[in-house]
A and B are shown apart, each in its own frame.
Chain A
Amino acid sequence: MRPPIRDIAVVAFGQTDHRRTTDEQSEVEMLMPVLHQVLDATGLRTSDIGFTCSGSSDYLAGRAFSFTMALDGVGAWPPISESHVEMDGAWALYEAWTKLLTGEADTALVYAYGKSSPGSVRDVLTRQLDPYYVAPLWPDSVALAALQARALIDAGDTDEPALAGVAARSRRSAESNPHAQLRGGDVPHGDYIVHPLRTGDCPPIGDGAAAVILAAGDRARELCERPAWIRGVDHRIEAHSLGVRDLTDSPSARLAAENAGAFERPVDTAELHAPFTSQEVVLRKALRLGDDVRVNPSGGALAANPVMAAGLIRIGEAAARIHRGESRRALAHATSGPCLQQNLVAVLEDSAQETR
């Protein structure tokens, strides 16, 4: 990947309170306040936005073309330039970033949402697997993550107390995050769900939405006091079959980080989309994060994991820390697929490249 040809920044971020169930709300109702939040923060209206992109999944909504209803909530009139990825919103942000790089737009609205509560998300995610040979066996997301955790423990990369430590630290960090679903307190590591993963090693199941506004160059400076400049974004995918992958490593995350420029200078903050404690172990190694890096100050996906929005939230949380002056250079990570199959890394900084 070549260095970006234009300075683009995250200028606003909003998210819902993430909750176990939102029976009384439709996706659109869940999303609307978040959209207004980022528009209000920048003073932009829908008609001012150059490009709009969203991320979601029909399988969570339980109906085809579910994103069309969410679009109605955006208020796409007069008609807007708009697209959608059937992926986590982090990839919608990537598409919007590339659109801004072409110079065809100077601002972009990115949003993502997911309600896991209406169904069994563990069962739903099995439908992502090879439809002929694996999906018919219904191996659920926790069972697959447990395979990965077992491989890590067998390799000597971690042990159960260390995993418990990741869980405890995440929940403590979430104490200062008003949107988190699980916050602070004395974290019981819980019973085994699938050995060696206990309740505390697994993410909460919940509903939520998030939105981000991107802007290029001077437009970003007008809209935000301290824009979070995107120094690089890259994403990579690995083979689907777990049998051909080394589950203790994440070569795709490492390659994405390298292409995003993450290794050029140390980061002070990392927001990792690691729904399972064991996945933080894999990512810390692949992303070369030392103990001096503040990992998941928001509490991460172990405190709130609205599927399809959780990755975008990592970018938003990292950007928000830069907006608040709490970070100068942050790494944000998103994942998709079983056992970290696909990974995206974005590097955000408090100053623009200003090289052109």
Chain B
Amino acid sequence: MHKEPVAVVGIGQTKHVAARRDVSLAGLVREAAQRALHDAELTWGDIDAVVIGKAPDFFEGVMMPELYLADALGAVGKPMLRVHTAGSVGGSTALVATNLIAGRVHGTVLTLAFEKQSESNAMWGLSLPIPFQQPLLAGAGGFFAPHVRAYMRRTGAPDGVGSLVAYKDRRNALKNPYAHLHEHDITLEKVQASPMLWDPIRYSETCPSSDGACAMILTDRAGAARSPKPPAWLLGGAMRSEPTLFAGKDFVSPQAGKDCAADVYRQAGITDPRRQIDAVEMYVPFSWYEPMWLENLGFADEGEGWKLTESGVTELDGDLPVNMSGGVLSTNPIGASGMIRFAEAALQVRGQAGEHQVDGARRVLGHAYGGGSQFFSMWLVGAEPPTR
């Protein structure tokens, strides 16, 4: 039994900003969907099903918003699925959509993820504790800072590595017209001088809160053959989850992340990711997660990730560019952030990433994670169709 090959033939996203007061939730998602259709040169009538994802419903204060958004996404009379896997949801949503095609249920699927954080207040959306749980850890940074500290202690990484990542990603964002933060006067000194929020994480090393949506059109082999622009082919995709808290959990390099990457590489025939993968869009909401994930994803040996970052390997013109788009550090509509990573990977192998295009990008990894580093979703896309 062979799976149907899956191709990305359309990508659309909104310009991500702090508050899109000019559009409703419906207007926001429709904008991204229409851009993806335009890119694929398809119409609403070509779409067989819609798979939508976003982070908690409390972020906008709408319960199961797919019901209300059905009309705006042309889903009336069609199947519509709503995925929610915490911060990894944008990636998971795309993978659920790929299964509809790989399993030969549908031919062409619209998948979309969004967050319109300005509709409500994400801080309060995450501040509804139930009894006998630890109280709010002062935002996500409060949760992740100790794990960054653990990484630094374990690997001996010098203090400045996080700032290098933030400086790089914010400069990359200047080349991406859809990125939220466009800090034209950014300097390494400014990053290093920004206020310390959750030691060792500085203000400029954290992600913004964004409104935005990202959409992709996925299709089968026949659909790809009709595509007017080069498709991006799915070479491997996987999700892995592990419990939030337990005695054996390694927060620095979670097993679920390692297993997820290994599954993707197995599917794609990747035996040496550092050599065989050309670029990576990874989920880095706090700068230090770049070196951490480089190790978790097998691009560097344990304890060596920060050396790749420090030596400039992950720069846009480096040997293994990471977060060419500016990453989550420059744009974070939470529910869409994972899908943006997946979409950027596809843009790169289609050769359509514009100013932040990596020359000769043939195989690019998209990565997302969520919860307390417990949910992972990844895909590897290529310029050539799968041979396995």
Residues of A at under 8 Å CB distance from B?
1-2, 4-6, 52, 57-59, 61-65, 67-69, 71-72, 75-87, 91, 94-95, 98-104, 124-125, 127-132, 135, 234-241, 251-252, 255, 336-338, 341-342
With A84-B84, A102-B99 as contacts: A128 and B68 at CB distance below 8 Å: yes
Contacts A5-B103, A72-B244, A83-B92 aside, 4 further interface pairs with beta carbons under 8 A come to A61-B130, A64-B57, A237-B76, A342-B67
Asked if residues A101 and B81 are in contact (CB atoms below 8 Å), the reply is no
* Separation of A6 and B4 alpha carbons in the complex (Å): 13
Q: For A342, what are the chain B residues with a Cβ–Cβ distance below 8 Å?
A: 67, 70, 80
Does residue B221 face the partner (Cβ distance < 8 Å to A)? no
A residues less than 8 Å from B62 (CB atoms): 127-128, 131, 135
Question: Closest A-chain residue to B6, C-beta based?
Answer: A102
Please give the distance in Å from A203's CB to the nearest CB on chain B. Answer: 18
Nearest opposing residue in chain A for B77, CB measure: A236
14 A-B contact pairs sorted by A residue (CB < 8 Å)? A6-B1, A57-B64, A68-B86, A79-B240, A82-B239, A85-B84, A128-B62, A131-B65, A235-B79, A235-B80, A237-B67, A238-B76, A338-B67, A342-B80
Q: Which residues of B contact A238 (CB under 8 A)?
A: 70, 76-77
B70 contacts across to A, CB distance below 8 A: 237-240, 341-342
The residue from A69, A98, A104, A129 contacting B68, defined by CB atoms under 8 A apart: A129
Residues from chain A with a CB closer than 8 A to the CB of B60 are 131
**Binary flags per residue of B37-64, CB closer than 8 Å to A gives 1, else 0:** 0000000000000000001111111111
B125 at the interface (CB under 8 A from A): yes
CA distance A2 to B49 in the complex (A): 13
Residues 81 to 98 of chain B near chain A (Cβ within 8 Å) = 81-86, 92, 95-96
Chain B residues whose CB sits within 8 angstroms of the CB of A72 once the complex forms? 243-245
Given contacts A64-B126, A252-B77, contact A71 B56 (CB under 8 A): no
Does A82 lie within 8 Å of B241, measured CB to CB? yes
Question: B254's closest neighbor in chain A, by CB?
Answer: A79
**Complex: A84 Cα to B92 Cα, angstroms:** 9
The distance from the CB of A283 to the nearest CB of chain B, in whole angstroms, is: 18
Q: B248 — which chain A residues lie within 8 A by C-beta?
A: 77
- Chain A residues near B128 (CB, 8 Å)? 62-64
Contact partner, B99, options A71, A78, A79, A95, Cβ 8 Å: A95
- Evaluate whether A80 and B106 lie within 8 angstroms (CB atoms) in the complex, with A128-B64, A255-B77 already known: no
Q: A63-B129, A91-B81, A236-B78 are in contact. Are A68 and B244 (CB under 8 A)?
A: yes
Bound state CA distance, A62 and B63, in angstroms?
11
Report chain A residues within 8 Å CB of B96: 83, 95, 98
B365 to chain A, nearest CB (A): 18
Contact partners of B102 in chain A: CB under 8 A: 101-102
Question: How far is it, in angstroms, between the C-alpha of A6 and the C-alpha of B58 when the chains are bound?
Answer: 38
Q: How many A-B residue pairs have CB under 8 A?
A: 198
Q: Is B284 interfacial (CB 8 A cutoff)?
A: no
Residue in A closest to B69 when the chains form the complex, CB atoms: A240
Tell me the bound Cα distance from A128 to B103 in angstroms. 31
Chain B residue nearest to A131 (CB atoms) is B62
User: What is the CA–CA distance of A94 and B83 in the complex, to the nearest angstrom?
Assistant: 12
Q: Contact: A127 with B61, CB < 8 Å?
A: yes
Does B71 make an interface contact (CB < 8 A)?
Answer: yes
Given A5-B104, A58-B57, A64-B128, are A87 and B238 neighbors across the interface (CB < 8 Å)?
no
| CB neighbours of B260 from chain A (8 A) | 79
Nearest residue, chain A, Cβ from B80: A237
Name the distance in Å between B7's Cβ and chain A's nearest Cβ.
Answer: 15
Q: Measured between alpha carbons, how far is A341 from B75 in the docked complex, in Å?
A: 12
Docked CA distance A52–B242 (Å): 12
Q: A64-B128, A95-B96, A132-B24 are in contact. Are A240 and B239 (CB under 8 A)?
A: no
Q: A57-B63, A84-B85 are in contact. Are A102 and B240 (CB under 8 A)?
A: no
Q: Do A77 and B246 touch (CB < 8 A)?
A: yes
Q: Which residues from chain B contact A338 at a C-beta distance below 8 Å? A: 67
Instruction: Give the distance to chain B from A195, nearest Cβ to Cβ, in Å.
Output: 25
A79 / chain B contacts, CB cutoff of 8 Å: 240-242, 254-256, 259-260
Residue from the list B59, B82, B243, B372 in contact with A86, Cβ < 8 A: B82
A77 contacts B99, C-beta separation under 8 Å: no
Contact of A80 (CB < 8 Å), options: B66, B95, B240: B240
Contacts of A77 in B (CB 8 A): 242-243, 246, 248
Given contacts A72-B243, A128-B68, A240-B71, contact A65 B86 (CB under 8 A): yes
Residues of chain B lying within 8 A (CB to CB) of residue A1 = 105-106
Partner of A59, one of B57, B82, B83, B263: B57
> What are the residues of chain B within 8 A of A80 when measuring CB–CB?
240-242
- For B374, the chain A residues whose CB sits under 8 A away are 68, 71
Interface centre among A2, A77, A86 (most CB of B within 10 A): A86
How far, in whole Å, are A67 and B92 apart by their CA atoms in the complex?
Answer: 15
Contacts of B24 in A (CB 8 A): 132
Q: Does B25 contact A (CB under 8 A)?
A: yes
CB distance from A285 to the nearest CB of B (A): 18
Which of A71, A76, A128 touches B67 (beta carbons < 8 Å)?
Answer: A128
Contact B83 A76 (CB under 8 A): no
Q: A128-B68, A337-B67 are in contact. Are A85 and B76 (CB under 8 A)?
A: no
Contact A71 B243 (CB under 8 A): yes
For residue B2, which residues in chain A have a CB less than 8 angstroms away from its CB?
Answer: 103
Q: Which residues of A contact B86 (CB under 8 A)?
A: 65, 68
B99–A99 CB distance below 8 A: yes
Q: Which residues of B contact A104 (CB under 8 A)?
A: 3
Q: Please, which residues of chain B bring their CB within 8 A of the CB of A86?
A: 57, 64, 82-84
Q: B200: CB under 8 A from chain A?
A: no
Which of B71, B95, B96, B99 neighbours the largest number of chain A CB atoms within 10 Å of its CB? B99
Partner of B57, one of A6, A57, A252: A57
